[in-house]
Amino acid sequence: MRVKTDFKEIDELVDDLNKLKRSAYPKATRNTLNKAAFSAQRIARKDIGGGMTLRNKFTQRSILVDKARGLNPRNQIALVGSTADYMETQEFGGSKSRRGKVGIGIPTGYSSGEGENATPRKKLPRRPNQVANIRLSARKPRARSRKRRNIAKVRLARQTNSRFVFLHLRRSKGIFKVVGGKRNPKIKMVHNLSKTRVRIPKNPWLRPAAEKAQRLMPSFFRESLNAEINRLNLFR
């Protein structure tokens, strides 16, 4: 008497187990890269808050991860970067320029409440001192000399309570805030418009985060290998 045995299901299990063994190492390397990438993302998002003056959460949210995919270790790449163009300038440095008589607006320490001599400024300008909230008078004094025009602008600002004026002084130009009484008004620069070209120094945010994450990769690889070994043991 012959008994016909169907090994089809067993063969499929054997094939699946062999596939798991072949994919275990590539999955471990892929998971290691992704863990390191997301670690660099977390570190960068945390550190830029202390190294940059942030207007909102957009800069932190712009740091994204493109995960490693596939099972060929040679083609596995995990990328970390920012979708904001200015973050490249922060990382590598650069310059900013503008043509015309009025230069690039640079908020002063007075505008942020840190004091006139605060260099570099570490805080954002206070809301009333932000460019979007400043209104300059459209009236232009007819005085011939620059000095008399500046005096007339300050007096006009006190009379109209506009508070802010654009003044071209001997060595600087910018937007000033008129403070004090009508008899003895004083001016405080809130935005310096003297320079038509500004050098932006390096402020690396990605490289330090990547280096910190790289030091964690051995532990990430160990965790990933153990996870794959445990997964294989479930099929034994």
113 found inside a domain: yes
Check residue 123 and give its pLDDT.
81
50 found inside a domain: yes
Please indicate, yes or no, whether residues 110 and 167 belong to a single structural domain of this protein. Answer: yes
Q: What Cα–Cα distance (Å) separates residue 231 from each residue in 2, 11, 68, 235?
A: 39, 20, 20, 8
3 found inside a domain: no
57 found inside a domain: yes
22-51 pLDDT tens trace: 788 888 899 999 999 999 999 999 988 776
| Residue 19 to residue 35: CA distance in whole angstroms | 24
Shortest CA distance to 27 belongs to which of 68, 64, 66, 65? 68
Please indicate, yes or no, whether residues 225 and 210 belong to a single structural domain of this protein. Answer: yes
Please indicate, yes or no, whether residues 119 and 176 belong to a single structural domain of this protein. Answer: yes
Which residue range(s) make up the domain with 188? Answer: 98-199
In this prediction the pTM is: 0.68
68-86 pLDDT tens trace: 999 898 999 999 999 998 8
Please indicate, yes or no, whether residues 58 and 151 belong to a single structural domain of this protein. Answer: no
Please indicate, yes or no, whether residues 38 and 74 belong to a single structural domain of this protein. Answer: yes
- Number of folded domains in the chain? 2
Please indicate, yes or no, whether residues 128 and 54 belong to a single structural domain of this protein. Answer: no
